[in-house]
Amino acid sequence: MICPFLRVSAVSACLAIWASSPAPSRAADGSVLQFEAKIALGDVRGRIDHMAIDTKRLRLFVAELGNDTVSIVDLAKRSVIKRIAGLREPQGVGYDPSSDTLFVANARDGSLKFFQGESYEATGGLDLGSDADNIRIDPSTKHVIVGYGDGGLAVLDNATRKKIENIALKAHPESFQIDPDGGRIFVNLPDTHAVAVIDSASGKQVTSWPMDKGGNFAMAIDRDHRRLLVAFRSPAELAIFSMADGKRIASIETCGDVDDLFTDPSRGRVYVSCGAGFIDVIEVTGATYHRSGRISTAPGARTSFFAPELDRLFVAARVTSTEPAAIWIFRPLP
């Protein structure tokens, strides 16, 4: 079965698909996330990192860091249709529909690679020096921004594929988010227990918000409430800050080893994926945050991707002694 690429209304039918094993446990009332399917990734070994999506073609890009590959998963066909090999610990992936380009950031050699169009033909790359990591594409400028090295954000012009700016940071950046309304970039710096706030126009750091906990790797923006969400690993906690001044608004305990979190504005929720083998579903009511579900996944399944256009949460589960590597698909309820 193949879905019409532009008809999001057809996605429900396309993703109502098989599961290779019994559905994992859900919240007690079964009302927050419904397990739909597993898509096997094949012979993929080691750690799986971040994901991106092409919603027009219904293709999910999976950075298979430990396998030195990126898989292209066709969500309509429920299978891997291509695997890009010969990479060097791919960590970040980003897809830009305006140029039909897949960007892949590699940790081992610090390179950023470009793959073009329907066939994902390799069309060059850029050497960033070391530890190329998360990728974001600025929706207003279409600039490609990549965290890398001991402290930098590289800014690329999408048309020329050349670096036009380097934003200096005090430590290696983990997750960073672009404020779609305020011209700022928020950057997690776990090695310095801080969030750096960057002015996008000048490329300069304007302030730093000290964090009182360690392991601030994952981050998301709640655009509706103008809040920054930061997940910590030591101890495991989600903290919510005002984007205006960095004031802490609330905090809540989470599952352990968080690596990704996403907001679901239509439901007033946050999805937190954890290497401890769980997804935490957190409900937002005003300034109050409470957990409405803790869903079992698999040990090490700490990276995820929420696609609001498809209304699906994808979780990457690495190979275990009993299960092959796979993408698990969840449908939010109600």
Chain mean position to CA 125:
22
pLDDT for the residue 14: 53
pLDDT exceeding 90 applies to what percent of the chain? 90
Whole-angstrom distance, CA of residue 2 vs CA of residue 179: 35
Per-residue confidence at 28, pLDDT binned at 50, 70, 90? very low
**Average pLDDT in the 17-24 region?**
41
Domain ranges for the chain, please list them: 25-332
The reported pLDDT for the residue numbered 126 is: 97
Half-sphere exposure (Cβ direction) of 151: Cα atoms closer than 13 Å: 12
| pLDDT confidence band for 24 (50 / 70 / 90) | very low
Tell me the helices (H) and strands (E) count for the chain, helix number first: 1, 28
Least confident of 13-27, 155-169, 196-210: 13-27
The CATH class for the domain spanning 25-332 reads mainly beta
User: What pLDDT was estimated at residue 30?
Assistant: 54
The reported pTM is: 0.92
CA distance 178 to 146: 12
> How far apart, in whole angstroms, are the C-alpha atoms of residue 104 and residue 107?
10
Confidence of residue 19 (pLDDT cuts 50, 70, 90): very low
- The per-residue pLDDT for range 91-145, each reduced to its tens digit, is 999 999 999 999 999 999 999 999 999 999 999 999 999 999 999 999 999 999 9
Is it the case that residue 59 has pLDDT exceeding 60?
Answer: yes
What are the tens digits of pLDDT across the range 244-270?
999 999 999 999 999 999 999 999 999
Distance CA 206, CA 192 (A): 16
pLDDT surpassing 90 at residue 13: no
User: What number is the average pLDDT over the span 33-57?
Assistant: 97
CA–CA separation, 111 vs 141, rounded Å?
22
pLDDT of residue 6: 39
Least confident among 27-36, 164-173, 186-195, 285-294: 27-36
Decide: 164 and 125 in contact? Cβ < 8 Å: no
